[in-house]
Structure 1
Amino acid sequence: MHEQQSTRLAEEITRLVRMGARFRGMLKTGDLGAEFSALMLLPPLRSMGPMRVTDLAEIKGADPSTVSRQAAQLVKAGLARREADPADGRASRLAVTEAGVAACERVRTARVAMLSQVLADWPADRVGAFTDLFEEFNDAVEAHLRSDPPPRETS
């Protein structure tokens, strides 16, 4: 890719990230009892099943102490529960509750509704092409991150 195109793409990604908080604020999900960042722990728990906070942090690419704080919010809100890890009774796993599944669905439905509004004036073929290219881009970024993991912070 040409440097000018890479620069433009980097600027557009930065613009999208800056809009992220505002976008999240416009989602009509009601009060689910936890910060949005904590709610984003629910989908992997829902799809992959119960797991230790350290494993969840690795999946999310986040600091374990941050994920631990977010997990505590989910437990307090009744969206997740702690359970004994069958592989090691001294450890616990985080599992999504029925209320957590419902919260996942509320966030997903709100996100789809918002994107449907944003893309309402786009022709279907452009939405399809954009979706395909965006998926291809995300796949490439994930592959790059797997092949060249960022250095771990040390204290």
Structure 2
Amino acid sequence: MHEQETTRLAEEITRLVRMGARFRGMLKPGDLGAEFSALMLLPPLRAMGPLRVTDLAEVKGADPSTVSRQAAQLVKAGLARREADPADGRASRLAVTEAGVAACERVREARVAMLTEVLADWPASRIAAFTDLFHDFNDEVEAHLRTDPGPPPRETS
């Protein structure tokens, strides 16, 4: 058993999560007209196409009322638009606008710039090894979460 190493990893993950708000603050993508948490709805919308708010909430593991409020911010900022759901004309879906695609890119560029600065002293081989391990770790966590019968905790911010 690797209990000591696993405990260290759990502590480092907790440390990373605690730094989350400060990390987001360091990104400085500019004023995009919506809270950071709302902006984080754009990548899955961009990748998966238009989604109902309830489906987007499921993808994000967030409360639908929270996602609804965040979606309203995106629409108000012109980063997303509501469109009729072809499967049910009474429902609407959220879709990314061109401005939303540009906002996704600005956040991505800010994230890459910040990480480039943080990792400036790391050799490329170390970054590649860390990335490969982190990818494998995320795959394992996702697989475990798919098999866990318990409901996921909901994001409420």
Specify if TM > 0.5. Answer: yes
In structure 2, the partner of 1:75 is 75
Structure 1: 4+ residue segments shifted above 4 A: none
- Name the CA distance, whole Å, in 1 between partners of 2:135 and 2:30: 29
Q: What's the secondary structure of 1:122's corresponding residue?
A: coil
In structure 2, the partner of 1:125 is 125
1:13-45 deviation line (CA, Å, top 9, x unaligned): 011011111111011211111110100000011
CA distance 1:136–1:152, shift in 2 (3 Å): closer
In structure 1, the partner of 2:59 is 59
**Percent of aligned pairs sharing the same letter:** 88
Q: Which structure is higher in RCO with an 8 Å CA cutoff and minimum separation 6?
A: 2
- Name the CA distance, whole Å, in 2 between partners of 1:121 and 1:143: 33
Q: What's the secondary structure of 1:142's corresponding residue?
A: helix
The one-letter code of the counterpart of 1:82 is R
Instruction: Give 5+ residue unaligned stretches, structure 1.
Output: none
Using the TM superposition, give the Cα deviation of residue 152 of structure 1 relative to its aligned residue in structure 2, in angstroms.
6.3
- Name the CA distance, whole Å, in 2 between partners of 1:75 and 1:56: 15
The one-letter code of the counterpart of 1:22 is R
Query: TM-score with structure 2 length normalisation?
Result: 0.94
1:71-125 deviation line (CA, Å, top 9, x unaligned): 1110111100111000000000000011100000000000000011111100111
- Name the CA distance, whole Å, in 2 between partners of 1:53 and 1:149: 23
**Aligned: 1:148 with 2:148:** yes
- Name the CA distance, whole Å, in 2 between partners of 1:110 and 1:103: 11
Q: What's the secondary structure of 1:89's corresponding residue?
A: strand
**Aligned: 1:106 with 2:91:** no
Instruction: Give 5+ residue unaligned stretches, structure 2.
Output: none
- Name the CA distance, whole Å, in 1 between partners of 2:152 and 2:112: 35
Q: What's the secondary structure of 2:129's corresponding residue?
A: helix
In structure 1, the partner of 2:138 is 138
Q: What's the secondary structure of 2:120's corresponding residue?
A: coil
CA distance 1:140–1:50, shift in 2 (3 Å): same
Q: What's the secondary structure of 1:82's corresponding residue?
A: strand
The 8 Å contact of residues 61 and 152 in structure 2, kept in 1 or not, is answered as no
Q: How many residues align?
A: 153
- Name the CA distance, whole Å, in 1 between partners of 2:9 and 2:129: 17
In structure 2, the partner of 1:45 is 45
